[in-house]
Amino acid sequence: MDCLFCKFANKEIPVDFVYENEHFFAIKDIAPKAPIHILIITKNHFRDISQVEGEVLSSLPTFIKELSEKLGIDESGYRIITNKNSDGGQEIFHLHFHLLGGKKLGGLVC
């Protein structure tokens, strides 16, 4: 498989994980749209939100809670975004979520 995020997950390409658990890992976005812009990526390959398994998806809120606490934005707030297919803005076809925070976000869009 030639998926960049799978290569990160399998440690074929080194990347600094901000946080991880059995289903997800988090890394800094290389083109941040906010002071804190983290990608939350599934360790297993799912093309998009419509393909993810229930067990993985049900563990996402706990991962986000723990990550936001680690980043110190659990109280101030944050935004979670996922994109699906080209019209939705998806550029890498491996399920991932954008966590943005660190300022008042207003109309910011990823």
Query: Is there a domain that residue 77 lies in?
Result: yes
Per-residue model confidence (pLDDT) at position 2? 86
Mean pLDDT of the 32-44 span = 97
Mean pLDDT of the 32-48 span = 97
- For the chain, the domain total comes to 1
Query: Is there a domain that residue 109 lies in?
Result: no
The CATH number covering residue 21 comes to 3.30.428.10
> What is the pLDDT confidence band of residue 74, given thresholds at 50, 70 and 90?
very high
The one catalytic residue in 23, 37, 94, 96 is 96
Q: Which two tokens stand for residue 18?
A: 């901000």
Q: Is residue 96 annotated as a catalytic residue, yes or no?
A: yes
Query: Is there a domain that residue 106 lies in?
Result: no
Residue 108 has pLDDT above 90, yes or no: no
Prediction pTM value: 0.93
Domain that holds residue 65: 4-101
Buried b (16+ CB within 10 A) or exposed e, 79-91: eeebbeeeeeebe
Query: Is there a domain that residue 108 lies in?
Result: no
